[in-house]
Homo-oligomer: A and B are copies of this chain.
């Protein structure tokens, strides 16, 4: 066996732990990692033209497959460009391994222009941060980073890799074998009998289901079990407001999402004497709103079956059995009528629901269309929904990229608002470059509508400067031209009929497409 560099040993160790994809925007301090890829065909590299594309794509990939993709980022500033989507990934409990090149170790004390405090930038979005301390440390650290990314239900694991340790030859055998295993997941097993007793003695129960993988609270098995429990107990169940991943569509219960604003959310939660959390956190208002408690359900009314990112399907099934709940009966949801005329958010939701191919993955971001589609989508063919978990805007397009890379056999839809899509618009190039089967739907209302809604809460008028600061109509962005400039075929739809035709055409072709929906 020829001698390996530290970079080669790192890729080999990542590959050995199952990492097969890296979303990359390398720079000079990552060039030995780039060179080391020549011999490493088991790792696919996908370029993003801005780092938040890479980190968001890794989030989408990890949500779909439950195992980490790597990102490859350039020192502190390159990493910083990807923090926002790592923030969303942290809230989604997505496993991700971040590789950050750094200056050659002996160059660091001299504070060259690109030096910065990478650790301080990394910690807020990483459950684990490690600076590789030698070439020999690289394979061990790589293996550990994958395990760490899977801890706590999924998290960011960040490796800082000085350039000289990438380039230097590894002395002796790789040390990866000797690494200690992670502690098992820390969630204590649920006592089913005790939980069943609490459910029996409650009068009004709300289940709150949180996203995650196949066995998460919004996977198929958990939803079936929750429906059985609702039938047995006369309870209701809600999805958390912004699930990392939710299965949805025909054959599944039409659980609503917990509303975003505190008034309607409390209308759901206040009457309950027991709120059962299955893969969801105790519900907290999104922002602090005067007159509303931040924690909407106090501890005494809460019962948790498992934290976000942990499998909760089995506990729900055992509870349903313990309560002798009836078998799950797959409901049939009537398709919404074919809408006609001007495009509205409700019409968009109905058109997409009717057109969605089975097994599609829908990446949703933006206040305008997200909720109306979710409401309609129970009647769509079975599909998976990914939402913005952390509120960092610019997540929808990159997550669609990552989902398409993770699941090449499935159609991906990005249902996005124009304001939020601009933050990571460069994703369109990666979609064209990789010829991903992604259909991007842009709700083009040319404003930051969510901010106007907040400004108008309580009936306040919109001031002139507030209006100017939330307007995106001078000039109006030409979304069709923008997409075409990045190599993505694009059309514009002004009516429901046009959208329906264009959507079916896009689903009928391979490769990416964008439809600007004029609202």
| Leading 4 A-B pairs by shortest Cβ distance | A104-B288, A107-B288, A475-B487, A77-B392
Q: Are A31 and B454 in contact (CB under 8 A)?
A: yes
Q: Are B110 and A295 in contact (CB under 8 A)?
A: yes
The answer to whether A466 and B77 touch (CB under 8 A), given A83-B121, A284-B110, A287-B104, is no
Q: Which residues of A are interface residues toward B (Cβ below 8 A)?
A: 24, 26-29, 31, 34-35, 37-38, 45, 47, 49-50, 52, 75-78, 80-81, 83-84, 87-88, 91, 103-104, 106-107, 109-114, 116-117, 120-121, 123-125, 163-164, 242, 284-288, 294-295, 389-394, 419, 422-423, 425-426, 429, 432-433, 450-451, 454-455, 463-466, 468-469, 472, 474-482, 484-487
The answer to whether A114 and B451 touch (CB under 8 A), given A45-B465, A83-B77, is no
Contact residues in B for A91 (Cβ distance below 8 Å) = 113
Contact residues in B for A88 (Cβ distance below 8 Å) = 77
Q: Are A465 and B164 in contact (CB under 8 A)?
A: no
Contact residues in B for A242 (Cβ distance below 8 Å) = 113
- Identify A390's interface contact among B114, B285, B480, CB under 8 A: B114
Select from chain B the residue with minimum beta-carbon distance to A27: B451
- Copies of chain A in the complex: 2
Q: Could you list 28 A-B pairs, sorted by A, with CB under 8 Å? A: A27-B393, A34-B466, A35-B455, A37-B463, A38-B465, A45-B468, A50-B422, A50-B423, A75-B391, A77-B84, A78-B84, A80-B84, A81-B84, A104-B287, A106-B288, A112-B284, A114-B286, A117-B123, A121-B124, A422-B426, A422-B429, A425-B425, A477-B486, A478-B485, A478-B486, A479-B485, A482-B485, A482-B486
Q: Are B112 and A286 in contact (CB under 8 A)?
A: yes
Whole-angstrom distance between the alpha carbons of A454 and B81 in the complex? 23
Whole-angstrom distance between the alpha carbons of A433 and B472 in the complex? 9
Contact residues in B for A107 (Cβ distance below 8 Å) = 285, 287-288, 294
The answer to whether A429 and B469 touch (CB under 8 A), given A77-B391, A116-B125, A121-B83, is no
Whole-angstrom distance between the alpha carbons of A408 and B294 in the complex? 46
Interface of A is mostly: helix
Q: Are A49 and B120 in contact (CB under 8 A)?
A: no
Contact residues in B for A87 (Cβ distance below 8 Å) = 76-77, 80, 116
- Identify A117's interface contact among B117, B124, B432, CB under 8 A: B124
- Identify A466's interface contact among B38, B84, B288, B294, CB under 8 A: B38
Q: Are A481 and B477 in contact (CB under 8 A)?
A: no
Select from chain B the residue with minimum beta-carbon distance to A473: B433
Whole-angstrom distance between the alpha carbons of A383 and B519 in the complex? 45
Contact residues in B for A475 (Cβ distance below 8 Å) = 429, 432-433, 486-487
Q: Are B286 and A455 in contact (CB under 8 A)?
A: no
Q: Are A463 and B390 in contact (CB under 8 A)?
A: no
Q: Are A116 and B124 in contact (CB under 8 A)?
A: yes
The answer to whether A163 and B477 touch (CB under 8 A), given A120-B124, A463-B35, is no
Q: Are A38 and B485 in contact (CB under 8 A)?
A: no
The answer to whether A286 and B113 touch (CB under 8 A), given A77-B390, A422-B50, A469-B34, is yes
The answer to whether A422 and B477 touch (CB under 8 A), given A35-B463, A112-B284, A463-B38, is no
Whole-angstrom distance between the alpha carbons of A486 and B485 in the complex? 11
